[in-house]
Amino acid sequence: MPYGAVPHGRVPRDPAQPAPPPAPAAHPAPPAAPERPAAPERPAAPARPPAEYTPTERSLPVMGPGHTLPDTPLVPPQDRPTVELTPVPDPERSQEPEGDGPGPLYVVGDVHGYLDELREALAAQGLIDAKGSWSAGNARLWFLGDFTDRGPDGIGVIDLVMQLSAEAAAAGGYCKALMGNHELLLIGAKRFGDTPVNSGAGTASFQAAWLLNGGQRTDMERLEDHHLQWMSRLDAMSEQDGHLLVHSDTTAYLEYGDSIEAVNDAVTEALQRSDADECWDLFRKFTKRFAFRDEDAGPAAVRELLDTYGGQRIVHGHSPIPYLLGEVGSEDDEDGGAPIVEGPHVYADNLAVAMDGGVTMAGKLLVVQLPLNV
């Protein structure tokens, strides 16, 4: 998500946005929203990753201590083309594939610490059982990044993803995840703290940027080495069944290589070098957004990414659907003006699918099966 100073806890229900130095901001501050009803008790998350857990198909070394950086403020344009919110059809689809091929493909949008909402969404798709364990056989599940910040239990989210990764692998499926800008931010805050970094317009620090972007002290207190190792090895992009999966709706990926493997290696190697300014630059670029929203330039930007990395459609998180529509929703909206997120938003000549339902702003945490019937 972007930068934009936001308060901590459950009330801040808005995405972050870039702000001027000294520290970047993640999302503009959202209107206050009432507390959601208390969720039922959930099973305790594992304290250590299962032995079988592997975060990606690649096995790369872990990074050491390091930094991150800010972005430019993000202001939705006043004049924008009207974009329709496209709900996902709900056909009756079996989770069991025909024959011996791969299982059905699912993607998850930004979670941002909302563990209970994540469990509910996964259970609704039949991916986990009542105990929170993998129940989808050989299904394939991809998280699009941004597990922490703003919500109450980011570390619990990471623990659940790691648990499901091991359980899915044992069942013949898999659960994998991509690197989001908030993973880069949390890594930087832990490794570099308040060490000054060159923001390009002054000095900033990962610690300040993390706090401004909804960083939760309870997450930092519970963050352990195996969480850092897991995050530092996440891929930046993947192509699955004609879908190019990325976290951010930006063309900045093109600066890191002309193939998926090259981009993933470049990001991992940057984290390994543990250079604060380099990590900050990576964070800043991954926080850019809205590259696909313009009526003319948007489809061209998507095609450039697809032509370079493959796939027929790009699927991303990062920019909440209400932002893409030029609206910011809240739970106490009385005039009915805020959009109701029913499912992914398909736009840019049907070439892009937005998956961040705006759970931080009283929206919806999206878990959907691909391909969409649109």
pLDDT digits (tens, 9 = 90+) for 64-123: 333 333 333 333 333 333 334 334 333 333 344 444 679 999 999 999 999 999 999 999
Nearest CA to 351 among 313, 315, 324?
A: 313
Q: Are strands 140-143 and 105-108 parallel, antiparallel or unpaired?
A: parallel
Is the predicted pLDDT of residue 319 greater than 50, yes or no? yes
pLDDT digits (tens, 9 = 90+) for 220-230: 999 999 999 99
Structural domain contains residue 289 = yes
Structural domain contains residue 231 = yes
Tokens of 95: 């989770």
Residue 339: what pLDDT?
A: 61
Structural domain contains residue 243 = yes
Spatial contact of 135 and 170, defined as CB atoms under 8 Å apart:
no
Structural domain contains residue 342 = yes
Is the predicted pLDDT of residue 53 greater than 80, yes or no? no
In the chain, pLDDT over 70 holds for what percent of residues? Answer: 70
- State the average pLDDT over residues 248-261: 99
pLDDT digits (tens, 9 = 90+) for 151-168: 999 999 999 999 999 999
Structural domain contains residue 46 = no
What integer best gives the mean pLDDT of the chain? 80
Q: In a 3-state reduction of DSSP, which class is residue 6?
A: strand
Residues near 326 by beta carbon (within 8 Å), at least 6 away in sequence:
76, 77, 80
Q: Are strands 140-143 and 174-177 parallel, antiparallel or unpaired?
A: parallel
Per-residue b/e over 149-169, b at no fewer than 16 CB within 10 Å? bbbbbbbbbbbbbbbbbbbbb
**The whole model's pTM is what?**
0.75
- State the average pLDDT over residues 42-62: 38
Structural domain contains residue 100 = no
Nearest CA to 153 among 112, 207, 123, 214?
A: 112
Output the domain CATH number for residue 332. 3.60.21.10
Residue 54's Cβ-count burial label (10 Å; 0-12, 13-18, 19+) is middle
Structural domain contains residue 232 = yes
Q: What is the number of other CB atoms lying within 10 angstroms of the CB of residue 41?
A: 7
Structural domains counted in the chain: 1
Confidence of residue 196 (pLDDT cuts 50, 70, 90): very high
What's the rounded Cα separation, in Å, for the pair 209 and 340?
30
The values of phi and psi at residue 6, to 5°, are -135, 145
Spatial contact of 283 and 270, defined as CB atoms under 8 Å apart:
no
Residue 338: what pLDDT?
A: 54
Residue 201: what pLDDT?
A: 72
The domain of 337 spans 105-370
Q: In a 3-state reduction of DSSP, which class is residue 182?
A: helix
Structural domain contains residue 53 = no
